[in-house]
Amino acid sequence: MDIKEEIEKLRREIEYHSERYYNDDAPEITDYEYDMMMQQLKKLEAEHPEYVTEDSPTKHVGGSAKRQAGVLVRHNVPMLSLQDVFSREEVDAFVNDMRERFLDPEFVVEYKIDGLSMSLRYENGSLVMAETRGDGIEFGEDVTENARQIPDVVQKLKHDPPEYIEIRGEVYMKNEDFDRVNENQELLGKKTFANPRNCAAGTLRQLDSSIVRDRGLSMFVFNLQQVRGMEFETHSGAYEYMKENGIPIIEDYRICHTADEVWDAISAIGEKRGDLAYDIDGAVVKLNSYAQRNELGATAKVPRWAVAYKYPPEEKEAKILDIELSVGRTGRVNPTAVFTPIRLCGTTVSRATLHNQDFIDDLGVDIGDSVLVYKSGEIIPKIKSVSKKEGTSVFKIPDTCPVCGAKTQREEGTADIRCTSAACPAVRVRNIIHFVSREAMDLKGFGTVYIEDLISRGFLNDVADIYALKDKRDELISLGIIGKEKNTDKLLAVIEESKDNDADRLLTGLGIPNVGKSAAKELIKHFGDMDTLMDASEEELIMVSDVGGITARCIHDYFSQEANRAVINRLREYGLNFKKKESETASDKLSGLTFVITGTLPSMGRSEAAALIEKNGGKVTGSVSKKTDYLLAGEAAGSKLDKANALGIPVISEAELLEMLPQSS
């Protein structure tokens, strides 16, 4: 096969798989395989421009594409992160160390924008490449076409363009743009974004560049990465050149000489933090001289010539307007504080969980009190303390269920208060929603609206009734609950296919307290099938990894109830799989190691990475703890990364994970 035929064959395959993914919602290959095909096509077209055509998949993206992935590109200069510091003592130590090494060094203090890092490459003044940070060392993602949609990205340098220059900046969203996007998401009935940073990161990686244009991303440049054909002595000098070319640089940077001046600059930035049109999460202190930077160099992860001071979590006062009570799928009564709207870390918040009665008692909170609210990991709003006691007493969760009126009861050994009625409508709805969820039986298309309608019309009383729906097909179609005949048959087919799921998915779907996806896998792996598990004693259950005394008691109590066993027996009669499936194992290279995955990986989804780890003997859990061996972190990693660093847990990239595996994996 000659080169032209190979290129044409690749184009046909990519177009076919694009159609299967975008229009048929039935992909036949993984995202990684698709990306490698696209990368190979780009490489061949670059080597043979005579065969490039305007209708090539490399020249266009699907107008309705929602897939988030990019073509990998090798970094010319590593896009390292910064060493975080959290106190004045650490800042002073860095400044004084630099002053001991160099004669009267200059420091630049500037905002640390809370966004997504991106580098821009210019050749003879023209923008030729935009890339994300990726793993920071070897590879990022080519997001050039999306970068061209950002107004702050200058596409041609007009003043003294060098032969080559690469600059690095932060892509972010202004608060007003973020609010506008979330308002639009709500109008369309779509999921809203947690914060501006997550929205910016997800937007930049969209294949549909019109989405990038519509969402209104912004960018500040904060570093000169590399230059040929021109020389700069200082960071501030490079900034002046960039400003001449219309490149937006970090605003209000300050040049300092002493530790006191540096701390004053950090404090001044901190005071302006709440008045800016965008979010910052710290201040960066860096040497101004490039010669001094080059002399110091970098470690494998961070430059030695800069640190990032992270401000304490932002706190604001709000007044408690109400305390709402809801009931979860296990019958747990959940109290939520509703307070006057405040803006924290780029989003407007007006609600925060109060967890349980013990938490409420410790706070001493009641309706009418003023409280201090902050964001955990800059995502989840939490109440820190009562700042002004204006309520009459301390709020008490009532002894009757707020949904069905049945008696509530505090569960022994826990702080949980639960509804005692198995027939509670809230419990029934949430049980079924959990059962069909992606983490459990993964019944795609079985939405909450369908579930609530089917329950209200008497079709569903428990999860086993889901598998009886096929016998009521004609009635469902005539009533139009799921839609027309095609939609109904599609959902019934999904339900039928789920019978073959591995037993750990079924166990997860039962919603046993404290038994999540990870514990369910360990339980089925240990006992082999549901029947053996159901007959296990508490002593036998405790022998399983991830199962402690409280969890063992929850499992034993659940299977001891005749009503629960009756539902499980019906599921058996409907033909659901109760046994562990034998999975192909590639190696035992990761045996005994526990991983947590966070952020957006360069070339694979989290579920794909988890499957790869488990295939090679490793274990994947959802939260970081002292038992975690590695945190696999990608772009826009959040609080899990902070916790891993605090616990001293090794943080690895996708590339480092792949190095740990056999070549065949």
Q: Which amino acid is at 362?
A: D
Burial 300-334 (b: 16+ CB within 10 A, else e): eebbbbbbbbbeeebebebebeebebebbbbbbbb
Q: Which structure tokens are listed for 346?
A: 């780029």
The two tokens of residue 299 are 């470690």
What's the rounded Cα separation, in Å, for the pair 225 and 167?
5
Catalytic entry in 9, 42, 43, 112: 112
DSSP annotation of 303: B
**Angstrom distance (rounded) from CA 68 to CA 279:** 24
Residue 42 burial by Cβ neighbours in a 10 Å radius (0-12, 13-18, 19+): middle
Instruction: Detail the DSSP E strand segments found in 5-80.
Output: 71-74
CA distance 236 to 255: 8
DSSP result, 353-394? E--SHHHHHHHT--TT-EEEEEEETTTEEEEEEEEE--SSS-
Task: Show Cβ contacts of residue 360 under 8 Å, excluding neighbours closer than 6 positions.
Answer: 335, 354, 394, 395, 396, 397
| Residue reference for tokens 């006057």 | 340
Q: Over 548-564, what HEC string results?
A: CHHHHHHHHHHHHCHHH
Distance CA 289, CA 93 (A): 19
The count of C-alpha atoms lying within 13 angstroms of the C-alpha of 189, restricted to the half-sphere facing its C-beta, is 2
* Strand ranges (E), 532-618: 594-598
Overall size of the chain counted in residues? 665
Buried b (16+ CB within 10 A) or exposed e, 81-114: bbebbeeeeebbebbeebeeeeeebbbbbbbbbb
CA distances from 582 to 528, 585, 615 (A): 10, 9, 11
Are 354 and 337 contacting, i.e. CB atoms less than 8 angstroms apart?
yes
**Which tokens is 197 given?**
């940073």
- Which of 541, 459, 431, 446 lies closest to 497, judged by CA? 446
Question: Catalytic residue at 112?
Answer: yes
Pairing of strands 254-256, 139-142: unpaired
Q: Could you give phi then psi for residue 7, rounded to 5 degrees?
A: -65, -45
Six token digits for residue 453: 């309608």
SS3 211: helix
The two three-digit tokens of residue 535, written as one number: 């007959």
CB 313 within 8 A of CB 280: no
Q: What does each C-alpha distance from 381 to 182, 338, 460, 631 come to in angstroms?
A: 17, 11, 35, 24
3-state SS, residue 408? strand
Measured between alpha carbons, how far is 129 from 221 in angstroms, rounded to an integer? 15
CA distance 175 to 659: 40
Q: Catalytic site residues?
A: 112
